[in-house]
Amino acid sequence: MADKNKVYYGEYTLQHWIDLILTGNIVLPPYQRYFVWDKEQSQSLVNALVENQFVPPVTIGSYVENKEKQNLILDGQQRLTSLLLHYLRVFPNRDAYKVSAKDVDLANENDDENEEDIDFINWNFNKLLDLIRKSKLRDRSEIHDAAIAEGYEELNTTVSLSSFNKSYLGFSFIVPGTEDDREQQKFYSKVFRSINIEGKKLLPIESREALYYLNKDLVGLFSPEFSKKITVNDGKMDFVRYLSMLSQYAKNNGPDKVARGFTKIMESYYENFIYAAVDGEETKEFKKLADIIPNLQFESRMEKLKTIIEGMNLLKPYDSIITLDLYMFGLVYITIFEDKNIESEKYEDMRKKIEDKSNLFKGERLHHKNPSALKHLKLRIQESIDICEEFAS
């Protein structure tokens, strides 16, 4: 019987939190989101702490991998990063680390342009720690000067250094009742779900990447490298979108129930698929992933898909989700779900058939205007699979 999961509560001085970061005793997991706060938000947070206002505690999780123990920052990166920056009196240059829309957006189901300006930076405090370790810096003033020389901005904080020893930030520390990798991942999948039920909405790519790493063995399935080279209106191809809908297609032997009831909350639909895959479950919507891919050995199937996509020159920008869907639903289904292939001599004939169908759909006013409508989406799924099955072997 597994030991009981344990949670400890307490608080540390701000200085102790700084020491934990600088010594690597608490670390950011590889999926952690971008640092999103600006100088004003960071200053407000630090002011609240030194004025003894309530600030939500951070959440640290103990994780053992290959007998090496790490304390992962599960929730509170923005708070801890702000503390570190105010302690060192530096701030990352937003222009130097600015993220373009296509780096953080996933292709949506409509053919419209992205409406919101993205003001995120591709930076978290690991970049600062790399600088510190590379130069073997220890003194606070040396770190400050090295960061400024590296292009960081001066941060004119109002917080005195003495305040870091007089002010506190609380924590919850989670220790799973097992050191088995898979069991820890399942446990933390539930922790992430609880943490992210409320709070600031994440960008889809941030939310997804956090979930992908709940089972690191499946990252290459959820987000294959080649898919990142495919874009629609500056949004990256969303591979999980295809996997999730095709999983429901496979469960119901057709597209009729795909995404039913989720049209306005598609992100929840995709997250439910990821949780089901990570937990190894069959759900109301989705077929058990291990029943689709025996032993979850997807690598050879993914390589087959990559070969076809590269051979057909499909690694490119698309001007419409309609065209991309007509290629990808069928190709993903026959390779990943059915372990079939398409011989290279059939590529050109298949391409012509798909392009003709795409032009037909784009010529239909309602389909072109609202490709996310379920009736249009289901039609693309079935047509794409039918075409690819015709050429598959």
Q: Of 274-278, 291-295, 325-329, which gets the smallest average pLDDT?
A: 274-278
User: What pLDDT was estimated at residue 32?
Assistant: 64
- What are 67-108's pLDDT values in tens digits? 889 999 988 999 999 999 999 999 999 888 876 655 666 666
Token readout for 358 is 């795409």
Mean pLDDT across the chain, nearest whole number? 88
The model's confidence at residue 268, banded by pLDDT at 50, 70 and 90, is confident
User: What pLDDT was estimated at residue 100?
Assistant: 65
Sheet holding 231-232, edge to edge: 235-236, 231-232, 317-318
The model's confidence at residue 113, banded by pLDDT at 50, 70 and 90, is very low
- Between the alpha carbon of residue 206 and those of residues 103, 211, 328, 357, the distances in Å are 11, 9, 23, 34
- What are 37-69's pLDDT values in tens digits? 889 889 999 999 999 999 999 999 998 887 889
The model's confidence at residue 33, banded by pLDDT at 50, 70 and 90, is low
User: What's the rounded mean pLDDT across residues 12-35?
Assistant: 89
User: What pLDDT was estimated at residue 151?
Assistant: 95
Token readout for 376 is 């249009």
- At position 364, the amino acid (one-letter code) is E
Domain ranges within the chain, ordered by starting residue: 6-191, 215-391
Choose among 25, 26, 48, 27: nearest CA to 37.
48
Whether 223 contacts 209, CB under 8 Å:
yes
The SS3 assignment for 125 reads helix
- What are 240-259's pLDDT values in tens digits? 999 999 999 999 999 999 99
Q: Of 20-24, 116-120, 284-288, which gets the smallest average pLDDT?
A: 116-120
User: What pLDDT was estimated at residue 1?
Assistant: 41
Indicate yes or no: pTM above 0.75: no
